[in-house]
Structure 1
Amino acid sequence: MSIIKIPTTGSKITISNGKINVPDNPIIPFIEGDGTGPDIWRASQKVIDAAVEKAYMGKRKIMWMEIYAGEKSYRLFNTWLPDETVEAFREYLVGIKGPLTTPVGGGIRSLNVALRQLLDLYVCLRPIQYFEGVPSPVKRPELVNMVIFRENTEDIYAGIEFPAGSDDAKKV
């Protein structure tokens, strides 16, 4: 029995001959997240839906599909990260997730890191540019145009270099 309810309308985003194909009603998986995640998700969903509505003049609409991880998943299915969640991200190619809990001092590993590693999401890419008319503390902000690249599945960031609380971890 599937824990995921697939929307009755909409289609998957696909890749064909190296080109991404986005249907008019793409099915996008989402994890609402833990803590403030549900509040952030509700607001984000409204903004995204409004942006799509305006940009495509009502011709396109996202069909949201909830998938599970974190506290909600554990409460409903007694597992922090169901295999179906990972498979849904792989199958639907595009997804969005809210912040997931990372217990301090043990319990489970970071679900955020687990998802990055399982889905091979090895980079955090942050394009930065100035938008005319927006106040900026930078001198000559119109010259700002850069991209920050941060590897985020290995080394200390991933929390796998040294065991928590070990002498080596304390040195870092």
Structure 2
Amino acid sequence: MARRSAPSLLRHLIDPSTRINPKIQSNPWLSNSRSVTYMPRPGDGAPRKVTLIPGDGIGPLVTGAVEQIMEAMHAPVFFEKHEVFGNMKKIPEEVLDSIRKNKICLKGGLATPVGGGVSSLNMQLRKDLDLYASLVNCVNLKGLPTRHKNVDIVVIRENTEGEYSGLEHEVVPGVVESLKVITKFCSERIAKYAFEYAYLNNRKTVTAVHKANIMKLADGLFLESCREVAKKYPGIKYNEIIVDNCCMQLVSKPEQFDVMVTPNLYGNLVANTAAGIAGGTGVMPGGNVGAENAVFEQGASAGNVGSDEIVKEKKANPVALLLSSAMMLRHLQFPSFADRLETAVKRVIAEGKHRTPDLGGDSTTQEVVDAIIESLD
């Protein structure tokens, strides 16, 4: 059988319901951001089993919050829980098999030890499942004070290659070689994902982030791929920005950005910067997506396992994972449940009575959960 090209494959996986819904735009709690997400669309809306990885640190607290609220909503999902911790040498095969079978996973943060030669389980998950696209939506939430207004940035990051993939070795004692591998296939694939996302979500501009002035071959190939794909989407404005200038522009005028497409390492830095500008890592949803599987988790990685004090006091912020769960529900073709969850979360944030310490309050995770459950009605 002839293999579909990437654009036709992506359109094949998209349901027409991913288009902007007028009912969503009329909802005051959803209209301040584009709520529709572009993901592969497995299944037909029937109740679905979801692999759940609580993870380290605050992970059990925030995944527990999701479980409570899903139960309160009577959402048509049920969880298959697996214990995975960041200090493991690798992700157990039964966990990978569970995700491949269910095609969907929700996970808390997994700690990555600094140094010591221990590889990141997050990276292993992305590589083994070919989760080639990371998507983080950095948007201002009503009622949450930030230095900048009108921020609504989607960072789409290539997830499988580049210097962030950890290909390094010691050549001789005292000399380490770290490899940055960029391929045309992966660069075109992520560029097509970014432009399809922009097209299907009524976004106007795609900005490619690079350092091709120095890494002329590697980042040059990434840019060349983005330019070729951009020609196929004449209705979407395309521009490019060097990564150091991008960081400066983000902190000075972030509202100029719409959809950003980046190689692996730059995307991690850009997404965390944009998240900090829009309200903090505790409120930014995200997902890692491939042609077959998707893993939803907190969008920005900085501090995603939390401090021991936050865990002890049970004051972890569940908002980011709850909004990621709304993305997951849309992915599973349950848009009404996604809207209901997102509306309740945003209403609680806007009211400001129940906020965890990272958002300027003193509420516990459970108090936030209780407020959101009450707001569901």
User: Per-residue deviation at 1:69?
Assistant: 3.5
Q: Is residue 138–residue 151 contact of structure 2 (8 Å, CA) maintained in 1? A: yes
The 3-state SS of whatever aligns with 1:150 is strand
In the alignment, residue 23 of structure 1 is paired with which amino acid? Answer: A
Among 65, 77, 94, the residue aligned to 2:80 = 65
Instruction: Tell me what 1:163 maps to.
Output: 169
Alpha-carbon offset, residue 166 of structure 1:
3.6
Alignment CA distance shift 1:50-1:69 (3 Å): closer
| 1:68–1:82 Cα contact (<8 Å) kept | no
Q: Give the TM-score normalised by structure 1.
A: 0.63
Is 1:110 matched up with 2:117? no
| Pairing 1:45–2:45 present | no
Amino acid at match of 1:119: L
Out of 24, 28, 41, the position equivalent to 2:50 is 28
Q: Work out the CA distance in 2 between the residues paired with 1:98 and 1:144.
A: 26
2:142 corresponds to 1:149 = no
Other-structure match for 2:139: 129
Aligned mates of 1:49, 1:101 — CA distance in 2:
22
How much does 1:61 deviate? 5.2
Aligned pair in 2 of structure 1 residues 66, 51: CA closer, same or farther (>3 Å)?
closer
| Amino acid corresponding to residue 46 of structure 1 in structure 2 | G
More displaced stretch, 44-53 vs 81-90? 44-53
Counterpart code for 1:51: I
Label 1:50 to 1:159 Cα distance change in 2 as closer, same or farther (>3 A): same
CA distance in 2, matches of 1:45, 1:100: 13
Name the SS for the 1:86 alignment partner.
Answer: helix
Greater helix fraction, Structure 1 or Structure 2: 2
Code of the aligned partner of 1:105: G
Residue aligning to 1:96: 106
**Structure 1 position 114, deviation (Å):** 1.0
Q: Cα gap change, 1:46/1:61 in structure 2, threshold over 3 Å: closer, same or farther?
A: farther
Q: Which amino acid aligns with 2:93?
A: D
Give the drift of 1:87: 1.3
| Rounded Cα–Cα distance in structure 2 between residues aligned with 1:105 and 1:83 | 23
Q: Distance in 2 between matches of 1:23 and 1:44?
A: 25
Q: 2:175 & 2:136 partners in 1: Cα distance?
A: 32
1:9 alignment partner in structure 2: none
**In 2, distance between residues paired with 1:145 and 1:101?**
28
Consecutive unaligned residues of structure 1, counting only runs of 5 or more, are: 1-16
Q: Distance between the aligned counterparts of 2:76 and 2:61, measured in 1?
A: 17
Alpha-carbon distance in structure 1 between the residues aligned to 2:109 and 2:49: 21
Q: Which has the higher contact order (CA 8 A, sep 6+)?
A: 2
1:157 to partner: Cα distance: 0.8
Paired position in structure 2 for 1:14: none
Q: Which runs of 5+ in 2 are unaligned?
A: 1-11, 14-40, 179-377
Q: Is the 8 A contact 1:49 1:62 kept in 2?
A: no
Q: CA deviation at 1:31?
A: 2.1
Aligned mate of 1:81, from 71, 91, 98: 91
